[in-house]
Structure 1
Amino acid sequence: MTWQTLPELVRSAGDRFGAAEAVVDGEVRWSFAELADRVRRAAGAYAAAGIDRGDRVAVWAPNSAEWIVAAFGALTAGAVLVPVNTRFKLAEAADVIERSGAKLVLVQHGFLGADHRDVAGVPVVDVKSGFLSAGEPFERVVAGTDIADIVFTSGTTGRPKGVMMNHLQTLRLYAEWCDLADLREGDRYLIVNPFFHTFGYKAGLVASLIRGATILPVPVFELDSVLGLVERERVTMLPGAPTLYHSLLQADRTHDLSSLRAAVTGAADIPVELIRRIREELPFQTIMTGYGLTEAGTATASRPGDSFEQIATTVGQPCDGVEVRIADDGEVLVRGYTVMQGYLDDPEATAAAIDPDGWLHTGDLGELDDDGRLRIVGRKKDLFIVGGFNAYPAEIEGFLLEHPEVAQVAVVGVPDDRMGQVGRAYIVAKGPVTEADLIAWSRERMAGYKVPRTVRFLDALPLNATGKVMKDQLPR
């Protein structure tokens, strides 16, 4: 790795890949050289607007070519990037923007019907307004150890916290990620993961600039649109949450998806059956499963050459320079250069998350096999106790997904007078099946305490913008 900062990476991509296609977004087709030039001009626009080294710039907009220029332009001006969740309502966005101390907010007026002209009293600029192209080429000197971005946690378990990372952490980790994910120069990378999330921003944009892959941003996931893009643009790389692959597997096979080569997925509850079906029913030649979190990026990943069983039943081994161990209570602990610099303006939360020995407490429960591969068995907060026995929703969900009429599932613990807690399964069915059918089927396959006592059928599971099930929003 020869770059110390993300602006250096952008400049280098322009030099290394030149006229090759960097971004395809509707009518937009930019080369790497043009992208690098646009980023420098955006940096000049920020500088002219008074943005100085270390100032925060928030980008509250959907995936687009302009988002890329807005974000890397801010970094090139020496600013700290604050990506903001596009699912946030105005009050939620205003909260994180205000706490971030942002001096400028980039938005896309009209996205999902929004028109945000006043956000926490901070000046607002539309990414489509021409502001980004109005500056003179400019680049401010920054250091690799400077904070590059503040990515706020998803907020599914409380008020979002701002995770601070520096340039060097991101560059080192996602250079390795490119190798593990089989991302290649010339790949065509359809990025459905939102840019405000590490999966879209770092494992998407940064990785593409490292490797020289064409970026195809998707602002809103619509299956027919995505399938059309895969066919029309000959997409080769399509990472996403498990829900993305569920959708692909359920789609009518009327589009040519034969160009797809590399899949990457990651979650605390990747179903074994899903990985099997991706391998057997879709054209992907490689699948990487991994485990990561905002506070430490990608912590573990499967390796090229891993067996189907290893890919399907674990989230791989620790990345280079990362240690993983299991605490006495089963919690997954992570230590290494990838661990965040801390939560923004929250030393108490930082101290609660990172112990004095440098171990990040993830809140996930896991096990390590003899080769150091990690298996996630659930979240500490999701675990429920049935008559004294620990029940892990992720494990139960994995069993239920093997049922031929189950498309998606979420399991939670609910109060029970006799057992303390028992399981309830929320099912999105793909065929006729009843509560009694599923309970009887489960009794044949898992210990009695794991069997859901009740089943609720839903048309869809409540998901956040990164495809994770928001269990606190399931009807009880």
Structure 2
Amino acid sequence: MPSVENAVTIPQLIAAAARAYGDSSAIEEAGRRISYRELDQLRRQAARALLALGVQAGERVAIWAPNIWEWIVAATALQSIGAALVPLNTRMKGAEAGFVLRESGASLLFVIGEFLGVDYPRLLEGESLPALRRIVSLRGASHGALAWADFLSLAAEISPAELVVREEAVNPQSLSDLLFTSGTTGNPKGVMTQHGQNLMVVRDWSAVVGLREGDRYLIVNPFFHSFGYKAGWLAALMRGCTILPQQVFDVQAVLECVARERISVLPGPPTLYQSLLAHPQRAQYDLSSLRVAVTGAAAIPVQMIHRMRDELGFQTIITAYGLTEVCGFATICRAGDAPELVATTSGRAMPGIEICCVDAEGHLLPPGEPGEVLVRGYNLMQGYFNDPQASLETIDSDGWLHTGDIGVLDEQGYLRITDRLKDMFITGGFNVYPAEIEQCLLKYPGLAQVAVIGIPDERLGEVAMAFLLPTPGNTVEEPAFIAWCREQMANYKVPRRVQVVQAMPLNASGKVTKNALRELASAAV
């Protein structure tokens, strides 16, 4: 039987972790403590229930829920029988979730009945989902969904031996997940990655970060994102940590949890640490247990790194850079790096991974010269699901993945991201794709043309600003427009500023020049 270090599939890892860490606490959430041994038992029970529902190897199974313990059980169970995990963003509206479910061909959906006042299954009413055979409610009753307890009871129909056969058929090359990410076309694409490559990169990441057996890991990053999933619960289970999931980021709740639960590992976007440092009652909480912080996705002031060490007590502060297309990991700082290096770079390439910068013609650039960031290594995706053309456009014939980001490498190989070839920007740690928002906004009555850019925001890094060109004779009322946007898309995508224009700035080929819009936005402040 493989050890935790030698596991090459996720079911092997969970089984090995149960043997290695036994009755140690794996997850603590909602008043429940689940040991490593019990987690493995729950995984096997849920996997047998999936077999009872006829889920086949290679099928896609989606999860649409916040950070709860059932999420981890469902994910590891479906991966144990050779199905691929399709996480759905909890901020999605029905049409957005419906698109991902259709594109992935998901045959089964695990969902939460209600979260933050939203009935998730009801959001899908009216969506055409021909491949979806069953919905299982992880927590809370929901019309038309199989309750979690009833789902688990189906395991009785399948023998443990049948599960063993399916588990043994899973190999390092089996598809483990399909994470959807948008691109410049505006349509989300499913990124395919495998069991073996994910475990290898997570193993390297957790070693660099310094995760230890017994660490208490507060996971605020959502499980549907590679930060909360791969650098989150998967890394924690590999290292024998205790996972404490948090469903919603609330500064007060984080402070209380750190003090009460003696949290030692707390990754998150820079906004998380900024919020903790700015909290007026922070001094009332004992934060002395904090040891490891991992951040990224936005520029960080050097002073903030110093304050995280001096005032929050972090011994290890690490920044990193990655994309969904590289299993979420590409570069990372190392423990002991100077605060200035942590603040101004995203670290250097992880073991076994190559990074370079090239000019517009694809020529390799020397250190200090800005160019497009390329990544090559075992961590590259297997391609975009059902989109071979987009896959060929992203990974070249030499095996380099073109990130669309512009960066500079220094003499030591440390990477500094300076801009984006794509228009994508980051709001509070979430990737935001203007083309996707623009496609949605064009559905609003009376609009001839729209353009979206990212503008600076003190708290969230960048937020969306929309430029609107109405059709002749029409006007746009901003309050009604924003209210409509909130119904159509996840909150982090909703434009925070709106400007109605009489004409869009266009280049010679008729495309909107986003730089001219950025100048307009700056002039209007």
- Determine helix, strand or coil for the equivalent of 1:164: strand
Q: Is the Cα contact below 8 Å between 2:22 and 2:36 reproduced in 1? A: yes
Unaligned segments of structure 1, at least 5 residues: 384-392, 395-409, 413-421, 430-461
Q: Partner letter of residue 243 of structure 1?
A: T
Is 1:85 aligned to 2:85, yes or no?
no
Matching residue of 2:513: none
Q: Sort the Cα spacing of 1:427 and 1:206 in 2 relative to 1 into closer, same or farther, 3 A.
A: closer
Aligned-residue offset at 1:470: 5.4
Per-residue Cα deviation, 1:441-471 (whole angstroms, up to 9, x for no partner): xxxxxxxxxxxxxxxxxxxxx9xxxx99759
Q: Is the Cα contact below 8 Å between 1:236 and 1:259 reproduced in 2? A: yes
Q: Partner letter of residue 308 of structure 1?
A: P
Q: Is the Cα contact below 8 Å between 2:302 and 2:339 reproduced in 1? A: no
Aligned-residue offset at 1:257: 1.3
Alpha-carbon distance in 1 for matches of 2:314, 2:498: 36
Is 1:279 aligned to 2:309, yes or no?
yes
Q: Sort the Cα spacing of 1:322 and 1:305 in 2 relative to 1 into closer, same or farther, 3 A.
A: same
Q: Sort the Cα spacing of 1:70 and 1:156 in 2 relative to 1 into closer, same or farther, 3 A.
A: farther
For normalisation by structure 2, the TM-score amounts to 0.73
Alpha-carbon distance in 2 for matches of 1:155, 1:204: 24
Structure 2 residue corresponding to 1:125, chosen from 136, 142, 152: 136
Structure 2 residue corresponding to 1:220, chosen from 218, 233, 248: 248
Q: Partner letter of residue 166 of structure 1?
A: Q
Aligned-residue offset at 1:154: 5.6
- Determine helix, strand or coil for the equivalent of 1:323: strand
- Determine helix, strand or coil for the equivalent of 1:310: helix
Per-residue Cα deviation, 1:199-229 (whole angstroms, up to 9, x for no partner): 0110011101110000111111112112111
Aligned-residue offset at 1:156: 8.9
Q: Partner letter of residue 309 of structure 1?
A: E
Q: Partner letter of residue 38 of structure 2?
A: E
Matching residue of 1:398: none
Choose 354-363 or 119-128, whichever is displaced more.
119-128
- Determine helix, strand or coil for the equivalent of 1:295: helix
Structure 2 residue corresponding to 1:347, chosen from 388, 398, 401: 388
Is 1:98 aligned to 2:98, yes or no?
no
Aligned-residue offset at 1:274: 2.9
Q: Sort the Cα spacing of 1:223 and 1:268 in 2 relative to 1 into closer, same or farther, 3 A.
A: closer
Structural mapping, 1:234-253, within 5 Å: 234-251=262-279, 252-253=281-282
Per-residue Cα deviation, 1:284-306 (whole angstroms, up to 9, x for no partner): 11111110111112100011222
Matching residue of 1:390: none
Aligned-residue offset at 1:12: 0.6
Aligned-residue offset at 1:247: 1.0
Alpha-carbon distance in 1 for matches of 2:457, 2:82: 47
Q: Sort the Cα spacing of 1:184 and 1:373 in 2 relative to 1 into closer, same or farther, 3 A.
A: same
Structural mapping, 1:298-447, within 5 Å: 298-329=329-360, 330-381=371-422, 425-427=456-458
Q: Sort the Cα spacing of 1:155 and 1:20 in 2 relative to 1 into closer, same or farther, 3 A.
A: farther
Q: Partner letter of residue 298 of structure 1?
A: F
Alpha-carbon distance in 1 for matches of 2:197, 2:75: 17
Q: Sort the Cα spacing of 1:69 and 1:177 in 2 relative to 1 into closer, same or farther, 3 A.
A: same
Is 1:255 aligned to 2:285, yes or no?
yes
Q: Is the Cα contact below 8 Å between 1:125 and 1:131 reproduced in 2? A: no
Per-residue Cα deviation, 1:246-291 (whole angstroms, up to 9, x for no partner): 1111112122211111000011534434323322321111111110
Is 1:192 aligned to 2:220, yes or no?
yes
Alpha-carbon distance in 2 for matches of 1:150, 1:425: 31
Alpha-carbon distance in 2 for matches of 1:285, 1:131: 46
- Determine helix, strand or coil for the equivalent of 1:367: strand
Q: Is the Cα contact below 8 Å between 1:317 and 1:373 reproduced in 2? A: yes
Alpha-carbon distance in 2 for matches of 1:278, 1:7: 37
Is 1:38 aligned to 2:66, yes or no?
no
Q: Sort the Cα spacing of 1:67 and 1:282 in 2 relative to 1 into closer, same or farther, 3 A.
A: same
Q: Partner letter of residue 151 of structure 1?
A: L
Is 1:289 aligned to 2:333, yes or no?
no
Q: Sort the Cα spacing of 1:370 and 1:35 in 2 relative to 1 into closer, same or farther, 3 A.
A: same
Q: Partner letter of residue 11 of structure 2?
A: P
Aligned-residue offset at 1:351: 1.3
Q: Is the Cα contact below 8 Å between 1:69 and 1:132 reproduced in 2? A: no
Alpha-carbon distance in 2 for matches of 1:151, 1:473: 27
Alpha-carbon distance in 2 for matches of 1:89, 1:468: 9
Per-residue Cα deviation, 1:60-93 (whole angstroms, up to 9, x for no partner): 1111001011111111122111111111101110
For normalisation by structure 1, the TM-score amounts to 0.80
Aligned-residue offset at 1:53: 1.1
Alpha-carbon distance in 2 for matches of 1:179, 1:73: 26
Matching residue of 1:62: 66
Matching residue of 1:438: none
Q: Partner letter of residue 34 of structure 1?
A: E
Q: Partner letter of residue 316 of structure 1?
A: G
Q: Partner letter of residue 417 of structure 2?
A: I
Q: Sort the Cα spacing of 1:475 and 1:179 in 2 relative to 1 into closer, same or farther, 3 A.
A: farther
Matching residue of 1:400: none
Unaligned segments of structure 2, at least 5 residues: 140-146, 361-370, 427-431, 435-452, 461-484, 500-525
Q: Sort the Cα spacing of 1:106 and 1:469 in 2 relative to 1 into closer, same or farther, 3 A.
A: closer
Aligned-residue offset at 1:158: 1.9
Matching residue of 1:389: none
Q: Is the Cα contact below 8 Å between 1:41 and 1:132 reproduced in 2? A: no
Per-residue Cα deviation, 1:161-208 (whole angstroms, up to 9, x for no partner): 110000011000000111111111100000001111100110011101
Alpha-carbon distance in 2 for matches of 1:471, 1:333: 31
Per-residue Cα deviation, 1:94-144 (whole angstroms, up to 9, x for no partner): 110111011100000111223244643522110122145321453422111
Structure 2 residue corresponding to 1:264, chosen from 294, 299, 305: 294
Matching residue of 1:208: 236
Per-residue Cα deviation, 1:2-29 (whole angstroms, up to 9, x for no partner): 1110110011111100000000002110
Per-residue Cα deviation, 1:389-437 (whole angstroms, up to 9, x for no partner): xxxx99xxxxxxxxxxxxxxx9x9xxxxxxxxx99754459xxxxxxxx
Q: How many residues align?
A: 408
Q: Sort the Cα spacing of 1:369 and 1:226 in 2 relative to 1 into closer, same or farther, 3 A.
A: same
Matching residue of 2:33: 29
Q: Is the Cα contact below 8 Å between 1:147 and 1:164 reproduced in 2? A: yes
